[in-house]
């Protein structure tokens, strides 16, 4: 994709300083930019690279004051990070449009799909499934029976979608994620053997959900495990049976959510956090990384720790905790002097 500076400025609503006819054909980091590339300056830590970068065009903030002249074209915008994200999206849309069904893929005769479907090699779609407009299914994907996938959804290689799952429109599911696997449920019989609890529910992903690579979303025992509109989930996240995750919540990598827990809207959950089962997490809750949540949390809370408590209380407690070794040494000296005395 080749763009001139004035065209870039039009896309991101920016103002050109320098040669508005200079062209770029790729995007790059400012510290490793080269001729013909476009970079952006969105973090003050990288300010010095503005003067040394070889990028042909650099996006900067409207209010940025130059220490010295630069020999490249600048485009000034309100927010360089957002502007660069817009450009990334623009470049992505101009990639080769995938279409057609690979001869090595398999679609059951009664599957309903549109002509613009893309289905890569060795992918499978089983009976009674429905695939919406402009669905892109990459290679080695398995889609079970009675699955519904909405318009413009992208499914990357190795994804497995079990029977009866419902996937909304504009979703992105990254490689090797599993949707609809059995929940982890067992009961002991009178002889002490583990008896499997059969899960007859399904998984529902609403519109604009994105799941990272190697996630697992277990189906409900009865009813549905539900990931609501706009939820974004990082790699290697486990969502257990009958969990409900509210709209626009974001979850970082390696989080585990146990069964039948409900998480509210617009929450932020840090990496490696663990959330116990049958809890109710309110709206706009922030759970710091590596926290362990064992009780329900009210809306608009920020929590941290093991077990997780109020973030400010944890910070105050940590000051004392990290000083505990020196405090114990002092106490030992006092006890020793009293004993000797």
**Pairwise CA distance, residues 36 & 21, whole Å:** 12
Residue 46: DSSP 8-state: G
Here the tokens at position 69 are 């002249």
Q: Which residue has the tokens 């409207």?
A: 62
Taken in order 314, 316, 317, 318, the sign of the CA dihedral is positive
Selecting among 199, 241, 278, 320, the annotated active-site residue is 241
Residue 199 annotated to the active site = no
Buried residues in 321-341 as b, exposed as e (16+ CB within 10 A): eeeeeeeeeeeeeeeeeeeee
**Pairwise CA distance, residues 142 & 105, whole Å:** 10
Helix then strand count (H, E) for the chain reads 5, 39
Is residue 236 within 8 A of residue 212, CB to CB? The reply is yes
**Pairwise CA distance, residues 78 & 84, whole Å:** 11
Q: Strands 118-119 and 136-137, how do they pair?
A: parallel
**Pairwise CA distance, residues 336 & 321, whole Å:** 23
Which residues participate in catalysis according to the annotation?
Answer: 241
């Amino acid at each position: 994709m080749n763009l001139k500076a004035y065209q870039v400025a039009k896309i991101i609503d920016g103002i050109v300083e320098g040669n508005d006819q200079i062209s770029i054909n790729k995007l790059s980091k400012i510290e490793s930019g080269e001729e013909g590339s476009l970079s952006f300056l969105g973090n003050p830590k990288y300010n010095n690279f503005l003067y040394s970068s070889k990028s042909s065009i650099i996006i900067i903030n409207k209010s940025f004051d130059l220490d010295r002249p630069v020999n490249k074209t600048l485009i000034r915008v309100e927010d360089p990070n957002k502007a660069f994200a817009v450009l990334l999206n623009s470049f992505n849309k101009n990639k080769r449009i995938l279409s057609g069904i690979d001869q090595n893929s398999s679609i059951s005769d009664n599957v309903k799909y549109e002509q613009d479907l893309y289905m890569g090699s060795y992918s499978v779609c089983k009976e009674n499934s429905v695939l919406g407009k402009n669905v892109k299914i990459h290679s080695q994907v398995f889609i079970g029976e009675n699955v519904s996938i909405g318009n413009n959804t992208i499914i990357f290689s190795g994804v497995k979608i079990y029977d009866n799952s419902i996937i909304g429109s504009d979703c992105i599911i990254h490689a090797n994620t599993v949707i609809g696997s059995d929940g982890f449920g067992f009961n002991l019989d009178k002889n002490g053997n583990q008896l499997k609890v059969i899960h007859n529910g399904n998984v529902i992903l609403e519109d604009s959900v994105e799941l990272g690579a190697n996630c697992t979303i277990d189906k409900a025992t009865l009813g549905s495990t539900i990931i609501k509109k706009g939820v974004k989930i990082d790699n290697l996240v486990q969502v257990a049976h009958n969990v409900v995750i509210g709209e626009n919540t974001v979850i970082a990598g390696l989080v585990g959510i146990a069964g039948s827990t409900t998480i509210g809207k617009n929450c932020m959950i840090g990496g490696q956090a663990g959330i116990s089962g049958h809890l109710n997490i309110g709206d706009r809750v922030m759970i710091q990384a590596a926290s362990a949540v064992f009780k329900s949390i009210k809306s608009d809370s920020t929590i941290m720790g093991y077990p997780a408590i109020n973030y400010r209380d944890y910070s105050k407690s940590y000051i004392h905790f990290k000083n505990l070794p020196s405090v114990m040494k002092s106490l030992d000296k006092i006890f020793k002097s009293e004993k000797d005395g």
